[in-house]
Each structure stands twice: as C-alpha cells, then as structure tokens.
Amino acid sequence: MVHARIVPWYDDTELKELKEWFYNGELATDMRFRAVLKVKSYKSKGSQYLPHVIDSTAQITNSMLLDQERSQVDKVSVKLSYTMSLIRFVNGILDPTQQSQFAIPLHTLAKRVNLPSWFVDLRHWGTHERELPSLEMLRIAAKDALVWLWDHYWNDDELEEEEEDIEDEHTTSLRQLMQRGKFLQNLLKDYRWYWEDGATNLISSTNFQAEEPSHGKRQRDPTPQEQIDTFVSDCKGFWSNTHRRQEFIEIFAQHYTSTVLRVLVMKLPEFGLDFFKWVLQNYKNQLDNKPNALSRRFSTWESLKHKLLFKFVSGINTSHFINSWPSWEFLLSKNPSLLSYSFCQLMSNRLADNRGIYKKKKKRQFMSYQEVETRLSEYIEKQSPFTEEAESYNEQVQTHRKSQKQAEALGKTPPPSSIPGDMADILNDLASLKKRHTIPQTERTQWCPHPNWSPRPFGTL
C-alpha cells in the first residue's frame, strides 16, 4: 500500500519543468536562477514537504551562480557557499541510512548508496580543517554532485521519491528485528535447549503467565527465555505477511547468522522451503556471473556448504519435510545443481539416522518415510557429482571480488596519464589529508629555556 504524501508542487508537469530549468543547458535563456527561486517558494510552504535532493540541487546550483558572479571579487564567500552546500548534500544523503544501534562509518554508508567516497573526505575537510578546499576542487565536486543527483533522482521518468523515503516502516522494523536476532545469537546458543525441537513450545499456555502490573516498582529485566519468546513471536508476526516474505528472506540474508537460521527454519511454517528456493536462485545467478547477496556472504563453495547448507539441513523438521515432500521434489527437479545434490545427500543421511524413530510410529507414516528416502536416493543416483560446478562458483566469486577491488582502487587513484593537472593536484590534496589523519602528529617544543632566567614573585620587575 502506497501512502499519500504532501508535496509542494502542483503536479508532475511542474516538477519536470523544474528539472529542465536545472539541467537543460540548451535552453535559449539560463533558467537556473529561476529554478532556485522556485525551490525557495516550495520551502516557504514547509521545508518538511520538500525532498532533500531537490533542496540540495538548488543549493549547489546557487553556489555555482554565485561563483560566476563574485569569484573575481570575493573568493572566500564563494568557497564558503560551495563548502556548505556540499556538506549539506552529503549529510542529507547519508544521515537517513544511519539506522544502526551504533554509528556506522560514513565511508560504509556512502558505498551503500553508490556515493563516491571522496565526497566524504571533502565533507570532513570542509567541516574540520582550518583551510577550506581549493576553489577548483569545489567546482569539480559541485559538478559531480549534480551529476550524481541526476543519475539517482532526476533521471527518472516517474520522478519517484528520494531514496531515503523508499524504505517504509515495515522494512525498517524488519531490519531492526534481524539486527536484534544477530545481537541475540549468543543467548540463542546458550539456551538452545529452550527453543530446539523437543523443547517447550514457545509462548504456550504452559509457559506463559501474565504478571500483575507493578505499582511504583522498577520493572525487572526480561529473562533470557522471555527475550527468545519475544524475538520468535515478532518473527512470526512479520512472516505471517505472505506478500512480503521475499523481503523477509532478503533482509535476513543481509544479517545472516547460522543460529538465527535454525530458529527460523524450526519455528516459521514454510520458511525452509521458501528460503531454499531463494538460495537456489541466487546460486544459479552466481554461476551465470551475476553477483548477488549469496556470493557476497559466502566467497567459496566450501563456506556455502558448511556455514549455510549444513546448518540449514540440521534445522529442518523431518516430519514437516515428509509431509511437504511434493513441493520439495518439484523444487529439486527444477533446479539440478551441486547445491541441490548436496542438499539431497545431507537430507538422506538425516532421514537414515532417524529411521529407527519412525519405525515405532504408525505403519502409514513409516511407509511415507521410506518413500521419501527412496526418492532422495534415486535423485542422488541420477545426478552425478558436480565437481566442476564448485570450481566454477569459486572462480566466479573470486573474479568478481578481484574486479571490484580493482575498480575501487582505480576509483581512488586513477592512472596518472588519465588525470588532468588540476584533478591530479586535487587528488594529491585528498591523499595528503588522509595521511595527516592516519599518521600521529609528533610533539613539538614550543618553549626554549632562557639563559639568564631566575624565579621571582609574580608582578615583581
């Protein structure tokens, strides 16, 4: 459901006209000053209604117009205008993504939104250094900032809301829930007996008792069992939204821990099947040289098998697996790969270990158990080991990571032959700035002894 939002412009046509004024240099008359005035009129209706990217575009454009008018008379004012508009640009882009319990480095946040990291260095320079950046550097930064705003906001046929507004309340709450699960992983390991199969059911009538409200007394801290109950209950609440289960899985993958995976597989209905479907699809994409969340988390086939697949299979409820076997069989038959082959091997071994338990149950249940075990064995016999596929997965991931590192390195220090003189000086300034912050300052002696000094009371000549 898309919630209504108050905006200061009348319709999309008015906003598209504003875009032409800012970016279309082929107009007969320079309309940028009029565009800045238009944005000021929007702010008069309430700054909370104006997206940051539009406000930032106007501020940077206004600095460029001031540069054309006063750079020969008052360079300091032009520098201050550029610096402040760029600082507000960086802060407005990165601050909304600062949603962690602890502060995340700005370089990490910039990488998430594809903002060049040197903007963060420039922001730090303009905020903390005694000398302002050079006017040439600020001019280049302003032009690049307008290009970034064009690529990430203005160059959109539908002019969607800015990126900071894309993540709705449901997504934010879900992300916080997964971060909480990551924080609770040690507690989940210590109290595994409480939530694993065979333990007391979570939040049941036998283990949940309502307490009388305390009057004037300090609320006690929740017990580990209560923290686990609350976490699992919140996960069930989000998982019950069937239309957003894909989002649930993707956000969990970003905050993956093997302990939380076991909890979700055991406690959420159909989570195991949907999660494995997502894993198979991402695994296939990686083999097709399409980097994804799975390859970023597991760089080799061995890590994928031991840190994810083993943990996943160990958490599957065998009774639920047998009852939903038709769905599992369809999924495995449609996605033959080393991953599905290894899954069948591990699941077959697990069923073999539990065969004695099922013999004691009803005959009909044991027949279903034998049938599933037989079908798994047939699948394993039909599929030959995909040894080359494991090597291909490792090679694709390593190649992608190597190219990514090279791109980042080139982005920080481009080849000298391709750098203009002014740009080379600017990059050297940034490098020296980083060096000054990483190398500790040596102590310098500020006073030297006087040869004829002798102590005397204060005020005595």
Residue labelled with tokens 């540069």:
67
Residue 83 pLDDT > 80, yes or no? yes
Q: For residue 214, give the 3-state DSSP assignment.
A: coil
Confidence of residue 163 (pLDDT cuts 50, 70, 90): very low
Q: d(Cα 305, Cα 311) in Å, to the nearest integer?
A: 9
pLDDT band at 96 (very low <50, low <70, confident <90, very high): confident
% pLDDT > 70, the chain: 72
Q: What angle do CA 232, 234, 239 make, to 5 degrees?
A: 90
Residue 110 CA to residue 116 CA, distance in Å, equals 7
- Residue whose pair of structure tokens reads 């005595």 in the numeric block: 460
**245 vs 169, higher pLDDT:** 245
Buried b (16+ CB within 10 A) or exposed e, 17-45: ebbebbbeeeeeeebbeebbebbeebeee
pLDDT at 138: 92
The pLDDT tens digits of the residues spanning 26-48 come to: 777 888 999 999 999 998 888 78
The per-residue pLDDT of the chain, averaged, comes to 77
Q: Which of 77-86, 120-129, 386-395 has the lowest mean pLDDT?
A: 386-395
Longest CA span, the chain: 112
Q: Which residues, 6+ apart, have CB-to-CB distance to 93 below 8 Å?
A: 52, 56, 113, 115, 163, 164
pLDDT of residue 236: 92
pTM of the predicted model as reported, rounded to 2 decimal places: 0.51
Q: Are 323 and 356 in contact (CB under 8 A)?
A: no
Residue 270 is classified by DSSP as T
pLDDT at 432: 62
* Residue 160: pLDDT over 60: no
Q: Sorting pLDDT into bands at 50, 70 and 90, what band is 392? A: low
pLDDT at 299: 76
pLDDT tens digits for range 178-226: 888 888 888 888 888 888 854 444 444 444 444 444 454 455 678 888 8
State which of 219-223, 269-273, 287-291 shows the largest mean pLDDT: 269-273
pLDDT band at 397 (very low <50, low <70, confident <90, very high): low
Distance CA 105, CA 85 (A): 21
Asked whether the beta carbons of 229 and 191 are under 8 A apart, the reply is no
Give the per-residue pLDDT at 93.
87
